[in-house]
Amino acid sequence: MKKPELLVTPSSVDDIERLSEAGADAFLVGEEHFGLRLAGEFKREDVKESIKIAHAKNKKVYVAMNALYHNDRVEDLADYIAFLQLVEADAIVFGDPAVLMTVKEVAPNMKLHWNTETTATNWYTCNYWGRKGAKRAVLAREINLDAVLETKEHAEVEIEVQIHGMTSMFQSKRMLIGNYYRYQGKNLKIERHGKEEALYLYDPERDNRYPIFEDVNGTHIMSPNDICMIDELDELLDAEIDSVKIEGILKSPDYNEKVVSLYRKAIDVYTENPDEYFNIKDNLYAEIEAIQPKNRKLDTGFFFKETVY
Amino acid sequence: MAIENISTVKDGKRVIVKKPELLAPAGNLEKLKIAVRYGADAVYIGGQEFGLRSNADNFSIEEMREGVEFARQYGAKIYVTTNIYAHNENMDGLEEYLQAIEDAGVTGIIVADPLIIETCKRVAPRLEVHLSTQQSVTNWKAVQFWKEEGLDRVVLARETSHEEIKQIKEHVDVEIESFIHGAMCISYSGRCVLSNHMTARDSNRGGCCQSCRWDYDLMKQTDDANYPDIPMFSEQDAPFAMSPKDLNLILSIPKMIDIGIDCLKIEGRMKSIHYVATVVSVYRKVIDAYCEDPDHFEVKKEWIDELDKCANRDTAPAFYEGTPGYQEQMYGNHSKKTNYVFAGLVLDYDTQTGIATIQQRNHFKPGDKIEFFGPDIQGFSQTAGTIWDDSGNEIDAARHPLQIVKMKVDQQVFPYNMMRKELKWQ
């Protein structure tokens, strides 16, 4: 059985070493000027350093360029892509076709992963972006396990699936936190309310807490629970999903290190001895549950949930 | 690339030769006909599958055909929204559906998912394909991509500004459509799954339950589990909200025409015939007046007031004129009372007696202040006089929905003119 790539989002260059030791195969890094909702801010020097460290350990580094660009930032794409080619990034993650167009112009051999977060909902469209040049599609989190498996069966591109952590629910270009403060009459200066402020929206009807933060791309609202599929990996692994992702945003390096090591173990055990995986999976789940931060429950996202419309 | 020349000089006077298409929404056949009668150049409708607004009335293929035939008499076009992000399970029936739309004589479809774009090109090639705002296209290079993919038109993200759209028109020669009026997502369209998480309804397949318009408490988390989290508001503050004021670009229409935007779009397939009639007729007047004499054009106050008569929320120009701040959102009470209500639809008028036959749409009675408007009259107001039922009996009020009544009117009216009643708020 082919092992999937175990992909994680580090919060700093220092994490690359730790998370590699813990068993990660690949990293997603980037800066908010080009990428969305990153676990850490990696400026060009950091990206270069991360790639150096990772490549020495035979690990991969992908760089996020999945923002929605307005005209003013389109001008910056070519230079950044040329830089990523120079430092030998393993792939660029994009959502906006402007990136695809620019990669064709300045770095036609650069690998591309298609990820808009919400719109990779059927296999045809994954293959469509494959025909346009993407090597991989990152599936929307809002489709269920059957749809994931069916998509993998029909896919002509690699398929990446998030199996752990927070997901994005919403992006607005407006500064919704700052606007609220200004409406209240406080905080009249324009400033961003970033991830470090640990703000959330409380929804009393559902007793849910949705993390919210602002950055250069606007306001982001995140899911109330963390996906945790460590005890439900068998079908994903049987289907040979190409990459499984642990989202590290808004989590500590210690937490991410521990979670990566537990998934590493789960994947290795299942691929070598499936029966043994079924013996240990509840314990692996319990180990994650034990380190969950305050207010963050675990669930299985949409893998086993039906949506209507 | 320069923007094409949109004006010419005729008899010593500059006139606009490139008039944008005025595109209106319609949730059913009645609304479609009203939109066309009131001056829409094109109408977009939803079918029973593959479109957002799964809880709107929506059109059967037969109704689409009837709508197309009706619109054709006025030289108007019909587009069908098929702008879901499809899941694997939605692929069945797509080809037949697109072929049926094409056979019904529809001009084009509005679409987000490449699955539907490519299927349409393969099985229904006579349909134009317009890229939906659900793709949130925000830059010229992305527009270039979709042009190269063979799309006929791109509907831009509602987050694009005047300057950005101008640059897009300068860089790419493809039809551009932009919203001018109506409700808006506060998120980038297609990038919001709040409904999925909160109610298990898929926002990108038409199930959106507008979770963004609910109230929330903004809290700050404390690190220590023993300390409660901190509310970022005081007791007298309204709760955190993300409700945007509705879009209203009446003042920006000349600028939009000047940069050659090809289609100006009104939102609202769920809205009433009164809303559609009012908004379409106002923008029709603005576009026509500007194109006829751009150098002496001014937006009339009566047009702005007229739009207010069908508004149930405050409005703002949103991103077209810069990044919206808190003044362009609503906190606390999100609704707004208009001073007018749609009271009746004119069915007939007797030129001999000056008596109109009216279908009741809201309670009205003698003494009420009423006004009439329509595509073929100058609006006028009067006081309601004696009202008779359809058997000629005098009645004290028109109280029943869709009741047919007669009433003397001060000026000539025509079928499909509308009557509003002014409300007296205490």
Give the distance from residue B41's alpha carbon to the nearest chain A alpha carbon, in angstroms.
30
Label residue B226 by pLDDT band (50, 70, 90).
Answer: confident
CB distance from A308 to chain B under 8 Å?
A: yes
CATH code 1.20.120.1770 for B340-422: no
Q: Tens of pLDDT along B338-393?
A: 889 999 999 999 999 999 999 999 999 999 999 999 999 999 999 999 999 999 99
Measured between beta carbons, the chain A residues lying within 8 angstroms of B213 are: none
Q: How far apart are CA B94 and CA B109, in angstroms?
A: 13
∠ Cα A75 A80 A84 (to 5°): 155
Decide if A182 and B326 are in contact by the 8 Å CB cutoff: yes
Q: How far apart are CA A207 and CA B400, in angstroms?
A: 44
Q: Which residues contact B80 (CB under 8 A, 6 or more apart)?
A: B44, B45, B46, B47, B51, B59, B64, B101, B106, B108, B109, B110
Label residue B49 by pLDDT band (50, 70, 90).
Answer: confident
CA torsion angle B86 B87 B91 B94 (round to 10): -20
Place of tokens 């079908």: A235
Q: How far apart are CA B309 and CA B281, in angstroms?
A: 13
Pairing state of beta strands A297-299 and B230-231? unpaired
Please check whether residue B166 is in contact with residue B3, taking contact to mean a CB–CB distance below 8 angstroms.
yes
Decide if A69 and B88 are in contact by the 8 Å CB cutoff: no
Measured between beta carbons, the chain A residues lying within 8 angstroms of B242 are: 172, 176
**pLDDT (0 to 100) of residue B312:** 83
**pLDDT (0 to 100) of residue B225:** 76
Residues of chain A numbered 107-136 and touching chain B (CB < 8 Å): 116-119, 121-125, 128-129
Q: Which of A183-192, B55-64, B275-284 has the lowest mean pLDDT?
A: A183-192
Q: Which residue has the higher pLDDT, A186 or B316?
A: B316
For chain A, the maximum distance between any two Cα atoms, rounded to a whole number of angstroms, is 61
User: What ipTM was predicted for this assembly?
Assistant: 0.97
**pLDDT (0 to 100) of residue A180:** 95
Q: How far apart are CA B254 and CA B49, in angstroms?
A: 37
Decide if B206 and A151 are in contact by the 8 Å CB cutoff: no
Decide if A180 and B326 are in contact by the 8 Å CB cutoff: yes
Statement: residue B57 has pLDDT above 80? no
Distances in Å between the alpha carbon of A260 and those of A287, B64, B278? 12, 54, 59
Which member of B200, B240, B319 has the closest CB to residue A307? B200
Give the distance from residue B129's alpha carbon to the nearest chain A alpha carbon, in angstroms.
17
Q: How far apart are CA B191 and CA A118, in angstroms?
A: 6
∠ Cα A68 A70 A76 (to 5°): 95
Which member of A96, A206, A308 has the closest CB to residue B142? A96
Q: Between chain A and chain B, how many beta carbons pairs sit less than 8 Å apart?
A: 211
Measured between beta carbons, the chain A residues lying within 8 angstroms of B325 are: 175, 179, 182
Give the distance from residue B82's alpha carbon to the nearest chain A alpha carbon, in angstroms.
14
Q: How far apart are CA B379 and CA B372, in angstroms?
A: 5
String of DSSP letters for A73-137: HHHHHHHHHHHHHHTT-SEEEE-SHHHHHHHHHH-TT--EEE--SS---SHHHHHHHHHTT-SEE
Coil vs helix vs strand at B84: coil
**pLDDT (0 to 100) of residue B173:** 97
CATH number of B7-188+244-330: 3.20.20.70
Coil vs helix vs strand at B318: helix
**pLDDT (0 to 100) of residue A85:** 98
| Domain limits, chain B | 7-188+244-330, 340-422
Q: What's the whole-number average pLDDT of chain B?
A: 95
Place of tokens 């350093």: A49
Decide if A71 and B90 are in contact by the 8 Å CB cutoff: no
Measured between beta carbons, the chain A residues lying within 8 angstroms of B223 are: 198
Per-residue pLDDT of chain A in tens (309 residues, 90 and over written 9): 899 999 999 999 999 999 999 999 999 999 999 999 999 999 999 999 999 999 999 999 999 999 999 999 999 999 999 999 999 999 999 999 999 999 999 999 999 999 999 999 999 999 999 999 999 999 999 999 999 999 999 999 999 999 999 999 999 999 999 999 999 987 666 678 999 999 999 999 999 999 999 999 999 999 999 999 999 999 999 999 999 999 999 999 999 999 999 999 999 999 999 999 999 999 999 999 999 998 999 999 999 998 998
Q: How far apart are CA A6 and CA A89, in angstroms?
A: 17
Decide if A179 and B139 are in contact by the 8 Å CB cutoff: no
**pLDDT (0 to 100) of residue B426:** 43
The second-level CATH assignment, the architecture, of A5-167+224-299 is Alpha-Beta Barrel (3.20)
Where in the sequence of chain A do the CATH 3.20.20.70 domains occur?
Answer: 5-167+224-299
Phi-psi region of A104 (alpha: psi -120 to 50; beta: other; left: phi over 0): alpha
Give the distance from residue A106's alpha carbon to the nearest chain B alpha carbon, in angstroms.
14
Share of chain B above pLDDT 70, in %: 97
**pLDDT (0 to 100) of residue B230:** 95
Decide if A124 and B233 are in contact by the 8 Å CB cutoff: no
* Residue B12 token pair: 């010593």
Decide if A308 and B88 are in contact by the 8 Å CB cutoff: no
Phi, psi of A103 (to 5 degrees): -60, -45
CA torsion angle B424 B300 B333 B421 (round to 10): 30
CB atoms within 10 A of CB B65: 18
**pLDDT (0 to 100) of residue A141:** 97
CB atoms within 10 A of CB A101: 18
**pLDDT (0 to 100) of residue B50:** 86
